[in-house]
Amino acid sequence: MIEALTSLAAFDKVAGTSFAETAPAQKAAFSPSAVSGIAGTAPTAPTDFGDVMAQVAASARDAIRGGEATAISGIQGKATAQQVVEAVMSAEQSLQTVVAIRDKVVAAYLELSRMPI
């Protein structure tokens, strides 16, 4: 797991961000009031599809990193079993979401590649 945590740090170098910098922005961008404009505020979610996908990927990366860190804390006796299970389940859900998005993108690409020009 430790190797996975260091390999996830490579994403930070590519994105030019760090885990501490992106976490609050993700929560703000995907809060119900930000996405749907509830409570009389204008939506603050990015309008560019690339930005949305980058935020989804960063959010999934952060959830997976948090799950692994909590699992390591559980092994060290610093976290309860319930905290470990919750973090791992959150990471699993994020991974399943990313895989589903990837599958849809691949299916769309294959559909476009079959179209006659």
pLDDT digits 0-9 by tens, 29-70: 444 444 444 455 555 665 788 888 899 999 999 999 999 999
> From CA 28, how far away is CA 30, in angstroms rounded?
6
Quick one: pLDDT band at residue 22, thresholds 50, 70, 90?
very low
DSSP string covering 58-70? HHHHHHHHHHHHH
pLDDT score at 37: 46
> From CA 86, how far away is CA 58, in angstroms rounded?
19
Quick one: pLDDT band at residue 117, thresholds 50, 70, 90?
confident
For the whole model, what pTM was predicted? 0.56
Q: What is the mean pLDDT of residues 92-110?
A: 94
